[in-house]
Amino acid sequence: QVQLAESGGGSVPAGGSLRLSCTVSASTYTDIFLAWFRQAPGKEREGVAAIDSDGRMTYADAVKGRFTISQDNAKNTLYLQMTSLKPEDTAVYYCAADEKGGPLTSRAIDLSTRIRYNAWGQGTQVTVSS
């Protein structure tokens, strides 16, 4: 089974930037569908961004234009570049994998915790101060 390990979280002031990384251990990295989720205190886990093996991406409305998802196949690593951070971005950020792979479908499916993903990382904390 694929294993995921996030890093890069931290504390930044509003307007700042962070880059999260997720190292993916899998036998066939290039076929995996990957995504970032986040969970704020007292709230449900929500989808942030997803990317398929052809590099097609989708984003939640709350982060569109500020966050960029990318992957480096040579390093088996998924990234989330976050800019113009806001206090409401404060959360634990998780990477997730759908080992069956496949293309981007719709945000309702690709950014849902309940449909595609069979593997999750332990999370990394991002705190944005006002």
Determine the Cα angle at 63 with ends 46 and 119, to 5°: 35
In sequence order, the β-bridge partners of residue 12 are: 128
Residue 51 · residue 111 · CB < 8 Å: no
18-25 and 3-7 beta bridge pairing:
antiparallel
Cβ-count burial 28-55 (b if 16+ within 10 Å, e if not): ebeebbbbbbbeeeeeebebbbbbbbee
The CA distance from 3 to 27, in Å, is: 10
Q: Tens digit of pLDDT per residue, the chain (130 long)?
A: 899 999 999 999 999 999 999 999 987 767 899 999 999 999 999 999 999 999 999 999 999 999 999 999 888 999 999 999 999 999 999 999 999 999 999 999 999 988 899 999 999 999 999 9
